[in-house]
Amino acid sequence: MEEQTRPEGKLAVTFEYDVNGNRLSQMLTIAGVTETTTYTNDALDQLRSFSVLPGAGSEAEPRHTWYVVLPRFRRHLR
């Protein structure tokens, strides 16, 4: 896990990685509100999709989900 915080404390970014170094999640906190982006990879460690969750709760529905359809991303809105 890696964390970066601005000196004034209004912005913090936390990253979580798997054992292969692939990013699993990113939590961006601005003024106390956290937005979480989760990432999924295939067996070859290639990015397959990522989702953006609004707010701070784990019960929130993804705002956007992108799927890798080579050579581009396809966006799915919920």
Q: What is the pLDDT of residues 36-57, one digit of tens each?
A: 899 999 898 888 888 888 775 5
Supply angle C-alpha 47, 49, 50, rounded to 5: 110
Number of helices (H), then strands (E), in the chain: 0, 7
Q: How many independent structural domains does the chain possess? A: 1
What residue numbers bound the domain in which 54 lies? 2-77
Q: Which residues pair with 74 in a beta bridge?
A: 67
Query: Per-residue pLDDT for 7 more than 70?
Result: no
pLDDT digits (tens, 9 = 90+) for 9-41: 678 889 999 999 999 999 988 878 888 899 999
| CATH code: domain of residue 47 | 2.40.128
CB contact set of 75 (below 8 Å; sequence gap of 6+): 64, 65, 66
Model pTM above 0.75: no
CB 4 within 8 A of CB 12: yes
CB 60 within 8 A of CB 49: no
